[in-house]
Chain A
Amino acid sequence: MKILVAVKRVIDYNVQVRVKEDGSGVVTDNVKMSTNPPDDNAIEEAVKIKESGKAKEVVAVTIGEDKAQETVRKALAVGADKGIHVKVDGIIEPLAVSKILKKIVEKEKPDLVFMGKQAIDDDCNQTGQMLAALLNWPQATFASKIEVKDKSLEVTREVDEGLETIEINIPSIVTCDLRLNEPRYASLPNIMKAKKKPLEQINASDLGIDIKPRIEQIKVEEPPKRKAGIKVSSVEELVQKLKNEAKVI
């Protein structure tokens, strides 16, 4: 079995994002970038399945500018066998990403495609479901547990009401939630070894698909700021304030 894992390079989750003064977007210059957190869970799960003997190969793919390769290198350093970088500059929407991934799936012929459930930059939560639709494959989103069976997966999903378990035929798409596993860190020797693993480069423009944005970003602005609050000195004062000032209890 072969698993393709899609990873995205995003602003690190610990960075306090700042909006550009001209309203054209957020500041990304000199800002720490990392792999989208649930994509780390996706790679980890694929590598674990490979280690259990149920998969033979894990391929990591990323789409983006040249520096997005770092994300693939990191995936290679934690156990992926091969990397693919699809080069695109500028904004690329989930619909276009899923069209590119479909081309990669047709070329690589994986049995499973894993990715994070949501990217923490645009917070769209679309790509996995869109790819599943384009391939007419079943989907399991927000996975917190994956059990590989003979010709199917049993996946536990985190839903608003609690947990849901479904069985999906292979080939299929799984989008991973943060509690699926504990992603490992890359060791220094493995980072060095990853540099020798194959990393294929493809230009998105050579794939023959329309990836132009369909959504015009008119402006990006700071959200309204909350008024600064106060510190209270005791529980008694807190309760009095909530009762008499805020009038919420």
Chain B
Amino acid sequence: MSALLIAEHNNKEVKPFTLNAITAASQIDQDLHVLVIGHSCEAVVKSISEVPNVKKVIQVDDAIYENYLAENFTSAVIKNSENYSHIVCSANTFGKNLMPRIAALLDTSQVSDIIKVISNDTFLRPIYAGNAFATVKSTDTKKCITIRPTSFDPSPTSGGSAEIIKAEKAEVSNLTKFIKREEVKSDRPELGTARVVISGGRGMGSGDNFKLITAIADKLNAAIGASRAAVDAGYITNDHQVGQTGKVVVPDLYIAVGISGAIQHLAGMKESKIIVAINKDGEAPIFSVADYGLEADLFEALPQLLEELNKLNTIQK
């Protein structure tokens, strides 16, 4: 049998995490096909066909797929799912929204957010905000799996030449209407894939004070993250939230500023390579996961940090 990966894209480009999902899916089954559902998405189809691990690309192209509505995507996936033992997608908001709808119609008990492929039916996944790892074995004949993108390396993007085939559109739902998408545009690296992330928490005290974080992020070419408390308080928008119900990040360097380190926040960042915590409360739980802890008032420490960084001759980008 073969595995079918559902690509995430914006009709023009492949979303970076699709490449991580390709790596995971090809560990499950070498015969990996990718389903690209979208509108005028030829460029996406072409670039996926060049990914070495991909054996076939199936394109379902129609205006109804412009905005990735789960209802319409589901019928398109089901229609193309017959010959596959595994249906795979990233466990980000795209895949989380879509995959269970597919799984239910296939009468399959989905395995969510896997971090390791042990065999083609056995997987490792975090539970309880990553405080436990469960090894689980799916007994369904057809398996629906979402993968945690940051736990798999992105696959190379060139060298392959997969066959491209076109499939007809599937049944259309008129129960849902897309209205708008408010994307936060930024020149910074994406939070999910950035090499360096600097995050602020409730200790920042206001949205305005995040400029102290921004200045350092500029210097380090870092993405900006936040704890749930900072997002709830309105200091920063939801797309910055790192944690159990936000984004999971694994940068080389994670700097947590004014973040106490609730279990839910740690779930989103504790796999980072190097963790720095700056907090004036020496007892804050964030220090238990930090490689380097600095017990200090962030309003003094951040300007000093910028000053020290300015003194360096070179900074890795």
Contact = CB atoms under 8 A, between A and B. Distances in A.
Contact of A248 (B132, B173, B253): B253
Nearest to A168: B176
A159 B263 contact: no
Contact of A249 (B99, B181, B290, B316): B316
A19 interface: yes
Interface string A188-228: 00000000000000000000000001111111111100110
Contacts of B309: 239, 249
Chain A residues touching B, majority SS: mixed
Interface in A1-17: 11, 13-14, 16-17
Interface string B273-317: 111100000100001011111111000010011001100100110
Interface in B51-103: 69-71, 74, 91-94, 96-103
B111 A238 contact: no
A102 to B, nearest CB: 9
Interface string B202-237: 000000000000000000100000001001100001
Nearest to B139: A214
Contacts of A218: 122, 134-137
Contact of A125 (B96, B253, B274): B96
Given A17-B132, A164-B181, A243-B312, A94 B96 contact: no
A95 B100 CA distance: 9
Contact of B104 (A125, A130, A214, A223): A130
A183 to B, nearest CB: 12
A159 B99 CA distance: 15
A157 B179 CA distance: 11
A178 B93 CA distance: 15
A56 interface: no
Interface residues of B, number: 91
Given A124-B110, A248-B316, A161 B128 contact: no
Contact of B127 (A123, A165, A249): A123
Nearest to B311: A239
B272 to A, nearest CB: 10
Contacts of B131: 16-17, 19, 26, 223
A130 B74 CA distance: 11
Contact of B252 (A169, A219, A231, A248): A248
A217 B132 CA distance: 13
A248 B183 CA distance: 30
A125 B101 CA distance: 11
A222 to B, nearest CB: 7
Contacts of A178: 228, 232, 245
B264 interface: yes
A20 B180 CA distance: 47
B192 A142 contact: no
A130 B69 contact: no
A217 B134 contact: yes
Contact of B292 (A19, A219, A230): A230
Nearest to A214: B109
A87 B146 CA distance: 29
B227 to A, nearest CB: 12
29 contacts: A94-B100, A94-B109, A95-B104, A95-B110, A120-B264, A123-B244, A133-B74, A133-B100, A138-B173, A159-B93, A159-B239, A160-B94, A160-B247, A163-B182, A172-B175, A179-B232, A213-B109, A214-B140, A219-B134, A220-B132, A221-B133, A226-B291, A229-B287, A229-B292, A232-B292, A232-B294, A242-B292, A246-B291, A249-B196
Pick the 4 closest A-B CB pairs, nearest first.
A129-B100, A130-B104, A214-B109, A138-B175
